[in-house]
Amino acid sequence: MHSQSKHVGKISKIGPEGFAFHHPEGLITSPSRGRYVPFSLPQGDRTPILLSKSANTPQEDGDEDTGTKLPETLYKVTKVVMKNNQGASFQIAGMGTLTPKTSAGGQHGYEVEFPHGHEKHVHYAFELKAANGAEKKTTSGNFFAPLANPKGLTGAIGHCWKCNFKQVHAKMNPTKPFVITTKALHLVKGEPMLIGGPAKPEGAA
């Protein structure tokens, strides 16, 4: 329940930047258990991501890292990155080069060279792994860990990836997943609200 009524906008970060329990090596190509989040772009260049701020990450004038920046679509992030790299294309980990495209209707966008299902696509995932019994205690850093699910999330929440851009390699790499809203929510003081959960496996009741 909520201590006060609150409006939460669409594509707002509601979980920590990643989960507390993670594989020691972070991103892996072969998850060994069911508690992992695959790196994917389910909405293509309209998929929300959060580009981390670093010395290697291009930024727009006046764009500072306050820790509260909302995720942007890959399309918008790509425009910023390419603007700061003289329009040069770049790669996304496991998906090859990201290049401009124009739809039959004249809409501009970007597409990856090796989408999911392509023989050259490399599967990356962030696997969750509890350490030293920490999983028994719920904290702000692991609250959303139970939602780690390769099938994704349902309702008004979804997974979003934080990425960084390595300018020297002209490559964008995922670093960790977190939870965002996919719809605007109005939370009423004192009233519990079910906003979503892990998606069920295909065929499950």
- pLDDT by 10s per residue, the chain, length 205: 456 666 666 656 565 434 433 444 456 777 766 678 888 998 999 999 988 875 445 444 334 443 446 688 999 999 888 888 777 889 999 999 998 888 878 888 999 999 988 999 988 888 776 555 555 666 666 677 777 778 888 888 888 888 888 888 889 998 888 888 888 877 788 778 788 877 876 555 5
Q: What SS3 state is found at 177?
A: strand
CA 102 to CA 121: how far, in whole Å?
22
Break the chain into its structural domains and give their ranges.
Answer: 6-62+69-189
Taking the alpha carbons at both ends of the chain, their separation in whole angstroms is 28
d(CA 38, CA 55): 27
Q: What is residue 146's predicted lDDT score, i.e. its pLDDT?
A: 75
Q: Is the dihedral of CA 98, 74, 149, 166 positive or negative?
A: positive
**pLDDT score of 105:** 80
pLDDT value at residue 94: 92
- DSSP 8-state secondary structure symbol assigned to residue 13: B
Q: Quickly tell me which residue has 């300018």 as its tokens.
A: 167
pTM: 0.75
Q: What is the pLDDT of residue 199?
A: 82
